[in-house]
Amino acid sequence: MMDRPDYDTYFMDIAHLVSKRSTCLRRKVGAIIVKDKRILSTGYNGAPAGMKHCEELGGCLREKLKVPSGQRHELCRGLHAEQNAIIQAALFGVSVKDGTIYCTNAPCVVCAKMMMNAGIREIVYEDGYPDELAEEMLADSIIKVRKFSVKKQ
The one catalytic residue among 55, 63, 74, 82: 82
The contacts of residue 45 (CB under 8 Å, 6+ apart) are: 22, 23, 24, 27, 28, 29, 78, 79, 80, 81, 84
Cβ proximity of 23 and 55 under 8 Å: yes
The contacts of residue 100 (CB under 8 Å, 6+ apart) are: 11, 33, 34, 35, 120, 121, 122, 123, 124
Confirm whether 82 is a catalytic residue.
Answer: yes
- Bridge-based pairing of strands 30-35 and 100-105 is antiparallel
Q: Which residues are catalytic?
A: 82
